[in-house]
Amino acid sequence: FDVEIAGHMPQAMAIKNDGERALIAQIHMDRYMLPSEYPLIVDTAEGSRITDIDGNSYIDLSSGFGPHILGYRPKPVVDAVEEAVRKGAVNAIGNRAELELASIIAEAFGGDRNVVFTNSGTESVLTASRIARAFTGKDVVGKFEGHYHGWSDQGMVSSWFRYSGDPKEPTPVSNSAGAQRGVVENTLVFQYGADYSLERIRRHAATLAAVVIEPMPSMNLDYDPEFLRKLRQVCDECGVVLIFDEVVSGFRVTYGGVQTLAGVEPDLTCLGKIVGGGLPGGAVVGSGRVMQSARTTNDPFEDFATRAFCGGTTSGNSVSTAAGAAVLTYLRDNPAVYSELDAKTDYLREALQKIADEEEVGAQVRGKHTVFSIGFEYSKPALARDQAAGSHVKAMLALAYYMRLNGVYLPELHTIMLGDAHSYEDLDLVAAAFRKSIREMKQQ
């Protein structure tokens, strides 16, 4: 039978039975209380398009929050996954695909590199933080206001829309109920690009194990090579491990990451999304010097006392790593993908900004490389916390709602990412949908 999930939606969602309805309700309970209150349930995905269980097709601008840089269902990945499953999915034992992916990642970041596999970006940051604490013998982790490092208790401290205290010395606040208070309080919060943050790192050198940073923050979508260089220097001076969270930017901004473009080498790099090839996967890659703290000695009693334990049943499983290796191999062998993606994204950004200006809605299209966002009613905020103004967020949600009605899936409150499968024709359709959506929003 048909159930209309939200009264104002033109389409009713076909739900076949009570079991399916309960499942969908459970999965989407908290995720979709967004403007449409209408869960988008995908049935199939191909290239740049997703099709829902009612048969509605949308141009997808989410890339699944980032992994699908080659679009959905790319042949090299489908072939690699099929082969991996046919050969027997292996986990918790070393396997060939894992070795292949580890060497591709190590080579991409150059030099003396070791790799530890995880199942997600969140786990990569947790793992890197633990390695840093083991390496330094110190306990506190520092992060930057507005930067998201996954859903862990520490990863969500002062990440998105909740900030507190003096911007120069923010009070750590959790963006999630239920986060352990001790973990939240044991986090130092800094501001990206500010020299006073570097001074603060110096003052806390005795207890600070690591500083984790999104070198190109999702909140700002720009990077500051000079600040990253100074941060590198201060961390060296203070014996603090520098961790770059390149979960989004890794293999998306270029083959490598922001560090490749900025010429600043962190001690540890957190990866996820693209290196999982669209399946659950992630990795920490780092210099042998620091990664030594995660290495086993073949003496379990010694290990459990001194090394940073890293691992999980499915970390480095042969299917995810085969998918990741297929994507990275394709990107490595076809470097033109990056210049084409940059050109396509510039084309779309310019078209959207032109429409926003013509329609006089005060929207800004911001971003670099293949990542961008559309914001409302601000010029260039000085601090990440200034972007959290209510009207701006509500307009973003409304835009996502109208774009969906006009055949484009815009991820609500997340950056937009293009993939190799987007054609210029797709981008023209997105621009037309944007103009229509803006006009419909203005009529409300």
In the complex, which residues of this chain contact ligand PMP (CB under 6 A)?
65, 120-122, 125, 148-150, 214, 218, 245, 247-248, 272
Supply the minimum distance, in Å, between the C-beta of residue 272 and ligand PMP.
Answer: 4
Tell me whether residue 443 is exposed, middle or buried, using C-beta atoms within 10 angstroms of its C-beta: 0 to 12, 13 to 18, 19 or more: exposed
Cβ distance to ligand PMP smaller for residue 125 or 427: 125
Q: Which of 67, 59, 69, 64 is nearest to 418 (CA)?
A: 69
Supply the minimum distance, in Å, between the C-beta of residue 310 and ligand PMP.
Answer: 16
Supply the minimum distance, in Å, between the C-beta of residue 371 and ligand PMP.
Answer: 10
Q: Side by side, which strands form the sheet with 268-271?
A: 113-118, 282-287, 268-271, 241-245, 208-213, 140-144, 187-190
Supply the minimum distance, in Å, between the C-beta of residue 118 and ligand PMP.
Answer: 9
Cα dihedral value 424, 429, 431, 434, nearest 10: -150
Cβ distance to ligand PMP smaller for residue 219 or 351: 219
Supply the minimum distance, in Å, between the C-beta of residue 119 and ligand PMP.
Answer: 8
Where on the phi/psi map is residue 232: left (φ > 0), alpha (ψ -120 to 50), or beta?
Answer: alpha
Please list the residues that pair with 194 across neighbouring strands: none
Cβ distance to ligand PMP smaller for residue 5 or 264: 264
CA 363 to chain centre: 23
Supply the minimum distance, in Å, between the C-beta of residue 214 and ligand PMP.
Answer: 5
Cβ distance to ligand PMP smaller for residue 375 or 427: 375
Cβ distance to ligand PMP smaller for residue 52 or 245: 245
Residue 36, phi then psi, degrees to nearest 5: -75, -25
Cβ distance to ligand PMP smaller for residue 141 or 248: 248
SS3 191: coil
The residue type of 437 is: S
